[in-house]
C-alpha cells in the first residue's frame, strides 16, 4: 500500500524548501457519519525563520487518502503543494503518550518483581532437589567396609550415614516448606504484571503504522504556527438506540430516551475529542439514478418448428436470428464526500475518547415526550390475548433516525423492535406487549344437526363466529378488535356479511375485508361480537 502511494505521488514535486520541520498532529474534533468520519487535526510547530520550509507531519494513518485531505493554515502562514510520504520516513522519538510511558514503567517494575519471585522459587526448588539427592545417595550406600574395620569403626560409619541422611531429609523438608509462599509470590507477581499490561493496553495509543504528510509552507515571520488538517476516513459509524417508556397512570405518556453507539476501526484512538454526529451519508449515493432508453421490438410469433431448430444447436440453425438489443450500460453511482446539507447534527457537549476497534461507545443524547393514543388491540382469529398499542406523532422538528428500541411498559421491559426513520409530523404505531388480563376468544358454534360453524352446499357456503373479549383485570381499556371476511371482485360471487354490533371501521387501512370494532371495556367486563357470512355462486361453478 505504501509503495503504491509513493509511486502515485512521485510526480508531485514540492518546491525547494530551506529546511524540514518535523511535527506531530492531535485530533481535536471528529464528525461521525453513519458510515465514515471527518477528522480535524491540529499541527502546531515553530518556524525557525521567515520564508519557505517543509512541514513534515509524521503521524497520519498509513492508509490515508491524499484526495480526502484539506489544509487550513493560521494567519500569516501560506501552504503550497503537499503529498503523502510512505517511505524514507524519519524516526519518531517516542510514539507513546505520557500515560503510556507511566504504564510502561509500571509494566517493567512488575516484570522485574516477577523475575525476582521466579528466581527465588527456583533457588528453593534447587535446595529441595539437592537435599533429596543427598538423602537418596546416603540411603543407597552399599560400599565395602574399609580394611581393618572394627566394630567401633562400623558403628561410627552407621551413625554417620544415619545422621547425614536425617539432616538431608530435614533440609529437604525445610526447603519444601518454603515452596508454597514462593509459588504464591510468583502467582501474585504474574497477576500484577497482567494487570499492568491490561492497564497499558487500555490506554489511547499513538503507536501505529503511519505515513507522513509533507507540506510546503511559507511563514511571514519566525514563531509558532498552526496548520489544521481535515481528513475523511472510513471504518467509523454511529447508530441511534432508543428506550421507549410507556406509562398510563395519571394519563397516557410516552417518553423516548435517545442514545447513540459510536464505533471506529480507523487504526488510531480518538482521545478527548469534540464529537459531532451527523446524519449525512457522504459514502452513499448523492445523485439520482440514471434512466436509460429501453428499446423494444416485435417479430413473427415463434412456432414449434422454430423452437425445435433452436434445440438442434448453433450448427444446425436454419433461420436468421432477430437483431439483438444492445444492453444498456450500468447506471453510474456517484457519491460526494464531505457534504453537510440540511441534515440532523448532534454536538456532544463533552470531550470523549473512542478507542479504535475496542468498544461501542454509548453516549446519551436527550429525551422526547409524546402524548400517545393507547389501545388494547386484539386479533382473535390468530391470538388469545390483546396487545398494548401506542400511536404517536413525531411532533419534533427533526426526524427520528432508524435504530433499535427497547420497549418498557410501566418501567418493565416487555420487548424490543426496530424503528424506521420517522419524519416530523408522521404517525407511528408501536406495540408494548401482551395484556394477560385481557383475553379474547373466537368460536364457531355448532349448528342444528351437529355441523360445525362452516356449512357448504353445492353453491353456497355460510360461516358463523362468536368473538368474546373479557377483561379480568382491575383496569379499564379502550379495545380495538380486528377480524376479516372474504371479498369478491366477481358479480356472480355474492358475499353477504352481518355483524352485531356493526363494525366501527371496514376495509381498514385500505385492506378489503378487514373489519374493526372499537369500544371501552371496563374492569371485569365482557363484550361479545357475532359475525356471519354467506357466499353464493351459480351452479356449475367452484368456490376458490
For residue range 481-514, what is the model confidence (pLDDT) as tens digits? 999 999 988 888 999 999 999 999 999 999 999 9
Strand order in the sheet with 236-247: 361-370, 253-264, 236-247, 403-409, 412-419
pLDDT digit string (tens) for 523-538? Answer: 999 999 999 999 898 8
C-alpha cell recorded at residue 220: 511571514
pLDDT confidence band for 141 (50 / 70 / 90): low
pLDDT for position 262:
92
pLDDT for position 103:
84
196 and 216 fall within a common domain = no
pLDDT of 518 > 90? The answer is yes
pLDDT for position 89:
63
pLDDT for position 417:
93
- Domain around 226: 2-96+208-234
Which of these ranges, 133-137, 253-257, 473-477, has the smallest mean pLDDT? Answer: 133-137
50 and 111 fall within a common domain = no
242 and 356 fall within a common domain = yes
Which of 50-54, 293-297, 515-519 is modeled with the greatest confidence? 515-519
CB 244, CB 408: distance < 8 Å:
yes
Q: Is residue 418 part of a domain?
A: yes
C-alpha cell recorded at residue 278: 451527523
385 and 245 fall within a common domain = yes
pLDDT for position 242:
94
Q: Is residue 338 part of a domain?
A: no
d(CA 268, CA 252): 47
Which of these ranges, 45-54, 147-156, 398-407, has the smallest mean pLDDT? Answer: 147-156
pLDDT for position 86:
67
Q: Which residue has 538423602 as its cell numbers?
A: 135
How much is the average pLDDT of 436-446?
87
pLDDT digit string (tens) for 342-400? Answer: 677 888 888 988 888 876 888 888 889 999 999 999 999 999 999 999 999 998 888 88
How much is the average pLDDT of 311-338?
38
pLDDT of 117 > 50? The answer is yes
d(CA 413, CA 170): 67
360 and 265 fall within a common domain = yes
Q: Which residue has 504556527 as its cell numbers?
A: 225
pLDDT for position 88:
64
pLDDT for position 324:
38
359 and 498 fall within a common domain = no
Which of these ranges, 150-164, 221-235, 431-445, has the smallest mean pLDDT? Answer: 150-164
Number of structural domains (the chain) is 4
pLDDT for position 146:
64
Q: Is residue 523 part of a domain?
A: yes
421: number of Cβ within 10 Å: 12
Q: Is residue 336 part of a domain?
A: no
How much is the average pLDDT of 295-301?
73
pLDDT for position 388:
95
* Spatial CB neighbours of 35, under 8 Å, sequence gap ≥ 6: 234, 236, 237, 281, 283, 284
143 and 224 fall within a common domain = no
Pick the last residue of a domain from 396, 414, 434.
Answer: 434
pLDDT for position 200:
78
80 and 226 fall within a common domain = yes
Q: Is residue 327 part of a domain?
A: no
Q: Is residue 46 part of a domain?
A: yes
Q: Is residue 420 part of a domain?
A: yes
pLDDT of 233 > 70? The answer is yes
66 and 24 fall within a common domain = yes
pLDDT confidence band for 459 (50 / 70 / 90): confident
- Per the model's pLDDT, the better-predicted residue between 339 and 477 turns out to be 477
408 and 450 fall within a common domain = no
Which of 125-129, 208-212, 404-408, 457-461 is modeled with the greatest confidence? 404-408
Pick the last residue of a domain from 434, 452, 472.
Answer: 434
Pick the last residue of a domain from 150, 179, 201.
Answer: 201
Beta strand 25-33 with 270-278: parallel, antiparallel or unpaired? Answer: parallel
**Counts of helices then strands in the chain (DSSP H, E):** 4, 26
d(CA 9, CA 137): 77
Kind and range of the H or E element at 186? helix 151-201
pTM above 0.75, yes or no: no
pLDDT of 131 > 90? The answer is no
Q: Is residue 291 part of a domain?
A: no
- Per the model's pLDDT, the better-predicted residue between 184 and 360 turns out to be 184
44: number of Cβ within 10 Å: 13
416 and 491 fall within a common domain = no
33 and 150 fall within a common domain = no
Query: Which of 114, 65, 115, 101 is CA-nearest to residue 86?
Result: 65
How much is the average pLDDT of 222-242?
91
**Signed CA dihedral, 247, 252, 254, 255: sign only:** negative
pLDDT digit string (tens) for 25-84? Answer: 999 999 999 889 999 999 999 999 999 999 988 888 877 888 889 999 998 899 999 888
Amino acid at each position: 500500500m505504501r509503495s503504491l502511494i509513493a509511486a502515485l505521488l512521485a510526480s508531485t514535486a514540492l518546491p525547494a524548501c530551506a529546511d524540514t520541520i518535523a511535527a506531530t498532529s492531535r485530533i481535536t474534533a471528529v464528525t461521525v457519519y453513519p458510515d465514515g468520519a471527518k477528522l480535524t487535526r491540529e499541527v502546531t510547530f515553530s518556524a525557525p525563520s521567515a520564508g519557505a520550509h517543509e512541514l513534515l507531519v509524521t503521524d497520519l494513518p498509513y492508509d490515508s487518502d491524499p484526495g480526502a485531505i484539506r489544509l487550513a493554515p493560521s494567519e500569516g502562514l501560506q501552504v503550497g503543494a503537499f503529498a503523502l510520504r510512505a517511505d524514507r520516513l524519519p524516526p519518531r522519538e517516542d510514539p507513546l503518550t505520557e500515560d503510556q510511558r507511566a504504564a510502561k514503567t509500571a509494566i517493567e517494575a512488575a516484570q522485574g518483581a516477577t523475575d525476582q519471585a521466579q528466581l527465588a522459587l527456583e533457588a528453593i526448588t534447587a535446595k529441595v532437589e539437592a537435599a533429596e539427592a543427598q538423602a537418596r545417595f546416603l540411603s543407597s550406600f552399599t560400599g565395602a567396609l574399609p580394611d581393618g574395620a572394627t566394630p567401633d569403626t562400623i558403628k561410627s560409619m552407621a551413625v554417620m550415614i544415619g545422621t547425614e541422611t536425617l539432616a538431608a531429609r530435614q533440609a529437604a523438608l525445610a526447603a519444601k516448606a518454603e515452596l508454597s509462599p514462593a509459588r504464591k509470590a510468583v502467582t501474585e507477581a504474574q497477576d500484577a504484571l497482567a494487570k499492568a499490561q491490561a492497564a497499558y493496553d487500555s490506554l489511547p495509543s499513538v503507536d501505529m503504522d503511519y505515513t507522513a504528510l509533507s507540506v510546503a509552507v511559507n511563514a511571514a515571520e519566525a514563531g509558532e504556527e498552526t496548520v489544521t488538517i481535515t481528513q475523511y476516513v472510513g471504518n467509523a459509524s454511529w447508530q441511534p438506540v432508543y428506550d421507549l417508556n410507556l406509562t398510563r397512570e395519571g394519563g397516557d405518556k410516552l417518553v423516548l430516551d435517545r442514545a447513540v453507539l459510536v464505533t471506529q476501526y480507523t487504526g488510531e484512538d480518538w482521545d478527548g475529542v469534540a464529537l459531532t454526529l451527523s446524519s449525512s451519508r457522504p459514502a452513499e449515493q448523492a445523485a439520482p439514478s440514471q434512466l436509460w432508453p429501453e428499446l423494444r421490438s416485435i417479430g413473427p410469433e415463434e412456432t414449434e418448428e422454430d423452437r425445435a431448430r433452436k434445440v438442434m444447436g448453433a450448427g444446425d440453425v436454419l433461420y436468421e436470428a432477430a437483431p439483438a438489443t444492445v444492453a444498456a450500460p450500468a447506471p453510474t453511482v456517484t457519491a460526494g464526500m464531505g457534504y453537510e446539507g440540511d441534515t440532523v447534527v448532534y454536538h456532544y457537549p463533552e470531550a470523549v475518547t473512542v478507542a479504535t476497534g475496542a468498544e461501542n461507545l454509548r453516549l446519551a443524547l436527550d429525551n422526547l415526550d409524546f402524548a400517545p393514543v393507547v389501545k388494547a388491540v386484539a386479533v382473535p382469529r390468530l391470538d388469545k390475548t390483546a396487545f398494548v398499542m401506542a400511536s404517536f406523532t413525531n411532533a419534533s422538528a427533526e426526524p427520528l433516525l432508524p435504530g433499535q428500541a427497547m420497549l418498557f411498559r410501566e418501567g418493565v421491559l416487555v420487548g424490543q423492535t426496530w424503528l424506521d426513520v420517522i419524519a416530523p409530523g408522521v404517525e407511528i404505531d408501536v406495540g408494548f406487549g401482551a395484556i394477560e388480563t385481557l383475553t379474547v376468544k373466537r368460536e364457531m358454534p355448532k349448528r342444528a344437526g351437529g355441523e360445525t360453524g362452516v356449512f357448504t352446499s353445492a353453491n353456497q357456503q355460510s360461516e358463523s363466529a362468536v368473538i368474546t373479549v373479557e377483561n379480568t383485570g382491575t383496569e379499564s381499556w379502550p379495545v380495538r378488535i380486528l377480524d376479516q371476511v372474504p371479498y369478491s371482485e366477481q358479480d356472480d360471487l355474492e358475499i353477504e356479511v352481518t355483524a352485531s354490533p356493526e363494525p366501527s371501521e371496514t376495509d381498514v387501512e385500505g385492506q378489503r375485508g378487514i373489519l374493526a370494532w372499537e369500544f371501552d371495556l371496563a374492569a371485569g367486563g365482557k363484550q361479545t361480537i357475532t359475525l356471519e357470512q354467506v357466499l353464493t355462486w351459480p351452479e356449475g361453478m367452484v368456490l376458490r
